[in-house]
Structure 1
């Protein structure tokens, strides 16, 4: 939006050679669920997943979109595919004929496919005929269990073999093809005299899908077996679910969503949320339509702006002074230099972005940073690594004899009020998941200056850089356990880093509350342009300075 160049560290490329044909009950969703189990949530970090081979050409365009959507769950930079006839048909069906024709011309010249003999950093072979429906979870998208072994998996864990709710759609598996295949099963269920015994929620993927579903009686077909067709929005996928059937206690839900971190869907940390294709059933394998025979219905276009609206810089943005939903975003101060920083509690495990900035009811404050920051890391997984307690932090104000115990937001606010920058010490794959900017905005708002991790998820690390927080990697991962709460951290080498003389390392002098002092070595991935953001206090600060 500002014409600012954007850079990306050159990723590795993983080739995924796909052959064979999916069985009747398997879907493209099962392919990515299988791959998530193989790669884990970290296996795609810093890598592009390039799918190729004859098996790709048998998939619908929206099926490939589902695979690409869930590439984020393995940390992939992006997912790429060759240009296929299904993509061409989809572009025409969605009134993007000129794009399809341009792609046709490029493909005719040998582009939009992997180069012949291309070499990859890693090659993965997948025979689609061997891919069976998979159910992944709970609480992580890479715990993959083939459907044939799922019953024993439930029994081994001593779980109740009952589903309390099922949900399909949102940004994943919400295409016309997905909905028509589910509708096929709904007709079979109705013919057998069956209806849904638990809440069954369906979310169309767009206004176009919603309108086309209504026109083609798909909505009515689903409702006839007890489904509730929701608005075309994120909905329960990100916690916008006012759940009435089970508000607390252990239970299991089945969803076709892409993400299943603890507490994500209904705010209940005991809800075991399993990911699956939208057609895990026991009827005749369903058929569906990739594209509607009568074309897509346009739906309500009243919210669409003109393609290239004229700028209107004279317009003032007015926000009510007492608004609890919107506030002006004040520029962050530039505060980083060699000096003294206090440390907040260490966090166990990967701390997904959902556990740094939770979704659900908090999302109504996305435009009000002061309010949403009250939600900094209070979730079930924000574990203090020193005592195992959830959402507990210590303020070792060094004028006091005993540390003050408070919530994580509470201690962060105390630091902010006395102008004390602070740091976080975190574990592997910190910020796992997608790109919730507030997971970086909230700690920055409270004055966090630095985060030292065993490893970062790629998108979250970049978001921290944009907000003026310095992300550092332990050179020796065992140093993670040497730094306790209340330690004073003094950076050595940041002045050289900001001055444009980066050597890839920053030393940190650690002084523990008992007086023990030692140094550790950390690594950084800051580029020259990203160092300009750090120097200015944030990327927005730097962009504004250039525009002025």
Structure 2
């Protein structure tokens, strides 16, 4: 069972280290065994929340008494009662076969700190300092950040508060800026009522809005300059390059809220609260006790402010009036319908080398203010993806002019000239958040197909919804056959069908050509989205009786 400093977060950090960011792709990850009952319901939610970081289709736990207690505590007695009636169906099937079985002994599981730059680089806390020094990672921590949708339950915040209270009793506070992001209005209101938020403030913490803040890059960071090498520790779910503060030199590590709190006390990455001591205000050394907290609030949850606005009963007369000069809001225009012809002689906008997350495709941070304006936010498209042709960021060759320029500007030039384009990518393309803009932007700027070694599932589905063709190499080594100056033709699209490969012709600059096979996972409905131009277009057709 879980004990001491080991938290539910450490389960998924350990699993990520085993499976990597693509090891769960196309799989359902089921957690079972005697250790499950030692994990709180919100702890299970943290583990499942981070299932996206291993590419899992979904993650599941068996229904148990801790889920029942949480449902009742949050006012959902009817759901708890219904679940109890069918709990025999919500448990693992006896002798169920699994494609892979991973055994983790929770009693001996060590706290982990994963990173930097990827959530699957697993570092046990006992080895972190040694590994950091070996890799020349900055040892001094600049900022500690806890919370987010992943890791800000009442129990999480309470365990952090227990650490803080002990530190304050010795006269010490956080050595570094310490930011707290409640993951919901309910958690914010409840920790305010119960004094937990104030305890964290007494520690030197700043309680931020319960929203997507530094986790997604909404952080106007002032303590370091862009390009300055530094370390931050968070209890968020992912830590891709530049994600939190738009600084590619920031080494972000993902861990539990408890470890973030302890590391913020020490201010160093090589501090291990299980073995190391801190110095109190009186100069005497002390060791932190194991963190502890109530799983659920004794007084129940405070729902906080109800900010929900009911839609009008009759919305037919509602006019959406957007200023034509707004740079933050723009009404969407329907994407063009497929013309029924093969996609011939597609220009390659960029051949991406290596990791290409949704953050690489559509950067967050300062760009988020434009998320309601598709044309403006499209100026961030692929600006942090590595171009295989030159190894550089945001620098591609315009094959019409021969000039080098930013990726978005080049895409716009192609669109203005009526040149359709595609993208060639590496493995696990589109991993990370389910950012819709990462699919909207390529479509908006004239993209028609994305051809890669493999996709992250959610992004692949998003591409389908916007009428782009997501295709994978039948032979992954064919990635190497394609050169950035090639022209790509996708043939036989009138016969596009589930399970049927797509013929791809590669025309090289020297006049030679070759053909390869591409796979896809489109079903009949998704093929209709492609033909209509997007899922929304198809919905409109259906509504019109077409």
The secondary structure found in structure 2 opposite 1:68 is helix
Report the counterpart of residue 538 of structure 1 in structure 2: 534
The secondary structure found in structure 2 opposite 1:32 is helix
- Structure 1 gaps, min length 5: 1-20
Q: Does 1:290 align with 2:292?
A: no
Contact 1:432 / 1:457 at 8 angstroms: preserved in 2?
A: yes
Task: String of CA shifts for 1:489-537, please: whole Å, max 9, x gaps.
Answer: 122221211xxx5552111111122222221221111111111001001
CA distance in 1, matches of 2:502, 2:197: 58
- Structure 2 gaps, min length 5: 263-272, 274-287
CA distance in 1, matches of 2:83, 2:198: 37
Q: Does 1:523 align with 2:519?
A: yes
What RMSD in Å do the two structures reach over aligned CA positions? 1.3
The secondary structure found in structure 1 opposite 2:308 is coil
- How much has 1:244 moved relative to structure 2? 1.4
- How much has 1:42 moved relative to structure 2? 0.5
Q: TM-score, normalised by structure 1?
A: 0.92
CA distance in 1, matches of 2:102, 2:314: 48
Q: Does 1:80 align with 2:60?
A: yes
Residue 83 (structure 2) aligned to one of 87, 94, 103: 103
Report the counterpart of residue 369 of structure 1 in structure 2: 374
Contact 2:499 / 2:521 at 8 angstroms: preserved in 1?
A: no
Contact 2:383 / 2:394 at 8 angstroms: preserved in 1?
A: yes
The secondary structure found in structure 1 opposite 2:490 is strand
Report the counterpart of residue 278 of structure 2 in structure 1: none
Residue 352 (structure 1) aligned to one of 348, 352, 357: 357
Task: String of CA shifts for 1:138-165, please: whole Å, max 9, x gaps.
Answer: 0000000101111110111123311111
CA distance in 2, matches of 1:274, 1:145: 10
Q: TM-score, normalised by structure 2?
A: 0.92
Report the counterpart of residue 167 of structure 1 in structure 2: 145
CA distance in 1, matches of 2:316, 2:32: 47
Contact 1:496 / 1:502 at 8 angstroms: preserved in 2?
A: no
CA distance in 2, matches of 1:311, 1:452: 44
The secondary structure found in structure 2 opposite 1:202 is strand
The secondary structure found in structure 2 opposite 1:155 is helix
Q: Which runs of 4+ in 1 moved over 3 A?
A: 308-311
Residue 329 (structure 1) aligned to one of 306, 329, 332: 332
Residue 52 (structure 1) aligned to one of 32, 41, 59: 32
Report the counterpart of residue 185 of structure 2 in structure 1: 207
CA distance in 2, matches of 1:428, 1:120: 24
CA distance in 1, matches of 2:333, 2:387: 31
Report the counterpart of residue 488 of structure 2 in structure 1: 489
Q: Does 1:63 align with 2:43?
A: yes
Report the counterpart of residue 277 of structure 2 in structure 1: none
CA distance in 2, matches of 1:504, 1:309: 46
Task: String of CA shifts for 1:385-409, please: whole Å, max 9, x gaps.
Answer: 0111111111111xx5xx1211110
Residue 504 (structure 1) aligned to one of 491, 500, 503: 500
Residue 514 (structure 1) aligned to one of 510, 515, 523: 510
CA distance in 2, matches of 1:65, 1:515: 55
Report the counterpart of residue 243 of structure 2 in structure 1: 264
Report the counterpart of residue 470 of structure 1 in structure 2: 469
Residue 250 (structure 1) aligned to one of 229, 238, 243: 229
Any residues of structure 2 matched to 1:138-157 within 5 Å, and which? 138-157=116-135
CA distance in 2, matches of 1:24, 1:310: 53
Q: Does 1:24 align with 2:19?
A: no
Task: String of CA shifts for 1:422-448, please: whole Å, max 9, x gaps.
Answer: 111111110011210100000000110
CA distance in 1, matches of 2:489, 2:131: 48
Contact 2:448 / 2:469 at 8 angstroms: preserved in 1?
A: yes
- How much has 1:182 moved relative to structure 2? 0.4
CA distance in 1, matches of 2:314, 2:351: 46
- How much has 1:247 moved relative to structure 2? 2.8
Contact 1:504 / 1:525 at 8 angstroms: preserved in 2?
A: no
Task: String of CA shifts for 1:86-119, please: whole Å, max 9, x gaps.
Answer: 1111111111111111111111xx2211122222
The secondary structure found in structure 2 opposite 1:228 is strand
Task: String of CA shifts for 1:415-469, please: whole Å, max 9, x gaps.
Answer: 1111111111111110011210100000000110011101111111111111011
Residue 305 (structure 1) aligned to one of 309, 313, 323: 309
Contact 1:351 / 1:430 at 8 angstroms: preserved in 2?
A: yes
Contact 2:177 / 2:205 at 8 angstroms: preserved in 1?
A: yes
Task: String of CA shifts for 1:352-390, please: whole Å, max 9, x gaps.
Answer: 0011001111111111100000110112xx111011111
Task: String of CA shifts for 1:220-272, please: whole Å, max 9, x gaps.
Answer: 11111101111111110000111111132000000000010000001100000
CA distance in 2, matches of 1:296, 1:259: 28
CA distance in 1, matches of 2:298, 2:219: 33
Residue 398 (structure 2) aligned to one of 385, 395, 398: 395
Contact 1:106 / 1:112 at 8 angstroms: preserved in 2?
A: yes
Residue 117 (structure 1) aligned to one of 95, 107, 112: 95
Contact 2:137 / 2:251 at 8 angstroms: preserved in 1?
A: no
Contact 1:395 / 1:486 at 8 angstroms: preserved in 2?
A: no
CA distance in 2, matches of 1:151, 1:344: 42
CA distance in 2, matches of 1:257, 1:30: 12
Contact 1:345 / 1:484 at 8 angstroms: preserved in 2?
A: no
Contact 2:498 / 2:521 at 8 angstroms: preserved in 1?
A: no
Task: String of CA shifts for 1:34-61, please: whole Å, max 9, x gaps.
Answer: 0000000001000000111111111111
Report the counterpart of residue 162 of structure 2 in structure 1: 184
CA distance in 2, matches of 1:466, 1:294: 45
- How much has 1:130 moved relative to structure 2? 2.0
Report the counterpart of residue 216 of structure 1 in structure 2: 194
